[in-house]
Chains A and B, each alone.
Chain A
Amino acid sequence: KAGVTQTPRYLIKTRGQQVTLSCSPISGHRSVSWYQQTPGQGLQFLFEYFSETQRNKGNFPGRFSGRQFSNSRSEMNVSTLELGDSALYLCASSLALAPETQYFGPGTRLLVL
């Protein structure tokens, strides 16, 4: 089976812009979670989607949003980018919600200038 894929792999944006990241889960997986990884804050949970519904949300401002489509693919959007949004954004998929094992994609590295 193909693993979790994320596009694009690298992205450079400027402050104030918005960005959309995409994640395709492993075939058959219905849950997708998003994480932000930075050197200072480590791995922080953004949100989790299952069957097109957001099931859990981390402590991030409303500028961070996401959605899941009927084929389980997911997108996350960050509006009005700030310098502090520079990070590696990781997507993970699992068959279902907790406590199913999550499998991670390679991530999208976002640099905000």
Chain B
Amino acid sequence: AQSVTQLGSHVSVSEGALVLLRCNYSSSVPPYLFWYVQYPNQGLQLLLKYTSAATLVKGINGFEAEFKKSETSFHLTKPSAHMSDAAEYFCAVRRNFGNEKLTFGTGTRLTIIP
């Protein structure tokens, strides 16, 4: 089985501050991990993905995430928050195994304080 846990359903940071959104995964085989962002009334947009090539993954809009196998984590970070980063963020896992589905975490709503 596979699953992801996102710690913190709501996170608030000041504009210009560090953004840290937490994601821990559970998978019996090496996983592929993804971060998606959803703006109000829109679908999900892929931010970045880990596919075992490099543990530090850089994505769009200045976001990056580091795969840490020992901690089973894939936290999303951005050095300096911008007002346009306000959205909901989803971590997802998909095992490279058979017809595995994409499994999402419960999401973290990020609020940026001016």
A107 cross-chain contacts in B, Cβ below 8 A: 42-43
Q: Are B101 and A43 touching (Cβ within 8 A)? A: no
Task: From known contacts A42-B104, A42-B106, A45-B103, infer whether A98 and B98 are also in contact, taking CB-CB under 8 Å.
Answer: yes
Q: Are A33 and B46 touching (Cβ within 8 A)? A: no
Q: Are B101 and A101 touching (Cβ within 8 A)? A: no
Contact of B99 (CB < 8 Å), options: A6, A48, A106, A109: A48
Q: Kindly state the separation between the CA atoms of A45 and B97 in the bound complex, as whole angstroms.
A: 17
Q: Inter-chain contact count A-B, CB under 8 Å?
A: 57
Q: What is the interface of chain A mostly: helix, strand, loop, or mixed?
A: strand
- Size category of the A interface is 20 to 34
A16 cross-chain contacts in B, Cβ below 8 A: none
Q: How many residues of B contact A (CB 8 A)?
A: 25
**Chain A 17-65 residues near chain B, CB threshold 8 A:** 33, 42-43, 45, 48, 55-56, 58
Binary interface encoding of chain B residues 20-49 relative to chain A, with 1 for a CB under 8 A from any of its CBs, else 0: 000000000000101010000111111001
Binary interface encoding of chain B residues 73-99 relative to chain A, with 1 for a CB under 8 A from any of its CBs, else 0: 000000000000000001000111111
Q: Kindly state the separation between the CA atoms of A103 and B94 in the bound complex, as whole angstroms.
A: 14
> What is the CB-to-nearest-CB distance from B24 to chain A, in angstroms, rounded to a whole number?
16
